[in-house]
Amino acid sequence: MESDSHSQPKRKAGRPSKGPRETVWGKVPTPLARRFKADAEKRDISQADLLAEVLRKVYGDEREEMALSA
């Protein structure tokens, strides 16, 4: 007897995509890095999400720019 597991669609593993992303890398002063990491941990968000939030505040929301260019 064959299992029905082959006939059911496979679910994607993991969380949904946040859209196109690029890696940003750089060195910052140690005290600033410690504050940044502590803030991300305190807020229970990833450092990548916190960095994206900070960059949006400085440079604006990329979703707004995408809407303007459409």
Quote the pTM value: 0.64
CB 62 within 8 A of CB 56: yes
Q: What residue numbers bound the domain in which 39 lies?
A: 27-70
Residue with tokens 């082959």: 6
Which is more confidently placed, 13 or 26?
Answer: 26
Residue with tokens 């140690």: 30
> Tell me, what's the pLDDT at 11?
73
Question: Per-residue pLDDT averaged across 8-29, rounded?
Answer: 85
Question: Per-residue pLDDT averaged across 9-13, rounded?
Answer: 76
Q: Is residue 56 in a domain?
A: yes
> Tell me, what's the pLDDT at 66?
54
Q: Is residue 37 in a domain?
A: yes
In the predicted structure, residue 18 carries a pLDDT above the cut 90: no
User: How far apart, in whole angstroms, are the C-alpha atoms of residue 41 and residue 35?
Assistant: 10
> Tell me, what's the pLDDT at 16?
85
Angle subtended by helix axes 47-59 and 30-43, to nearest 10 = 110
Q: Is residue 21 in a domain?
A: no
Q: Is residue 44 in a domain?
A: yes
* Number of structural domains in the chain: 1
